[in-house]
């Protein structure tokens, strides 16, 4: 299983195919993405890698060819904050009538269940409130193009988050991984164990 990468959303543009069709894409930039920590089963109880990105001291330069053109990825980001929003904008409610006795409160949500049945407002009822700034994962976005020199990944479609926001890109969990996808992260075997392995196989 490959680890994902941390990228920064640059913005949206479009790419033209050989047949003249245009594909809307989101440009993601890998800004000095590197491994900051390694979790082992003996010390931490699980195996994982801690990734980081930014403008601090860098040892390894990023490579955008971690993903292959045509493969599918899952993208996770924080949605744009909208502040306090009403029921129509936040939950796509229909609102009240535009006439027939309704005055002023055309965009209100109406009754919330306060009559005899159920006699209360249920918990988690969809109501006006704070909208946005949520962790959203968009599945199965196709990688259209990669630019290794500039560290850019062009992903088809929209990506959650604002320009300049940090995005997590990983291999799609619902799509097979291409056979030509690079796997740079491997654990090295000790020299004595590696030397003894061929002898054991020969015997």
| Full residue range of the structural domain in which residue 101 is found | 82-131
Are 126 and 158 within one domain? Answer: no
Are 71 and 100 within one domain? Answer: no
CA angle 27, 28, 34 (to 5 degrees): 160
Structure tokens at 143: 């990688």
DSSP E strands: which ranges in 17-121?
A: 22-29, 34-39, 48-52, 72-78, 83-85
Q: Mean pLDDT in the chain?
A: 83
Are 112 and 25 within one domain? Answer: no
Per-residue pLDDT at 51 exceeds 80: no
Are 37 and 117 within one domain? Answer: no
Quick one: pLDDT at residue 195? 47
Quick one: pLDDT at residue 53? 67
Query: pLDDT, tens digit, for every residue of 176-198?
Result: 998 888 876 554 444 544 444 44
Instruction: For the full predicted model, state whether its pTM sits above 0.85.
Output: no
pLDDT, mean of residues 156-161: 95
Are 100 and 192 within one domain? Answer: no
Q: What's 25's domain CATH number?
A: 2.40.30.10
Q: Are 201 and 34 in contact (CB under 8 A)?
A: no
Number of domains in the chain: 2
Are 77 and 14 within one domain? Answer: yes
Are 57 and 103 within one domain? Answer: no
Output 92-95 pairs: Cβ under 8 A, ≥24 positions apart.
Answer: 93/126
Are 75 and 87 within one domain? Answer: no
Are 28 and 74 within one domain? Answer: yes
Short-list 159, 176, 177, CA closest to 168: 159
Are 35 and 120 within one domain? Answer: no
Structure tokens at 134: 């949520």
Are 123 and 140 within one domain? Answer: no
Are 48 and 68 within one domain? Answer: yes
pLDDT > 90 in the chain, percent: 54
Structure tokens at 192: 């004595």
């Amino acid at each position: 299983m490959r680890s994902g990468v941390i990228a920064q959303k640059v913005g949206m543009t479009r790419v033209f195919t050989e047949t003249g069709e245009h594909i809307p894409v989101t440009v993601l930039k890998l800004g000095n993405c590197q491994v900051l920590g390694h979790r082992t089963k003996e010390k931490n109880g699980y195996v994982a890698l801690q990734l980081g990105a930014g403008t601090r001291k860098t040892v390894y330069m990023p490579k955008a060819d971690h993903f292959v053109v045509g493969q599918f990825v899952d993208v996770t980001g924080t949605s744009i904050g909208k502040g306090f929003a009403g029921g129509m904008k936040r939950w796509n409610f229909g609102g009240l009538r535009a006439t027939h006795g309704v005055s002023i409160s055309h965009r209100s949500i109406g009754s919330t269940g306060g009559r005899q049945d159920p006699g209360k407002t249920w918990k988690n009822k969809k109501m006006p409130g704070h909208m946005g700034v949520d962790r959203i994962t968009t599945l199965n976005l196709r990688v259209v193009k990669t630019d290794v020199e500039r560290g850019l990944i062009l992903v088809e479609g929209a990506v959650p988050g604002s320009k300049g926001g940090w995005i997590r890109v990983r291999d799609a969990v619902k799509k097979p991984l291409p056979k030509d996808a690079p796997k740079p992260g491997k654990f090295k075997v000790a020299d004595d164990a590696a030397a003894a392995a061929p002898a054991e196989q020969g015997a």
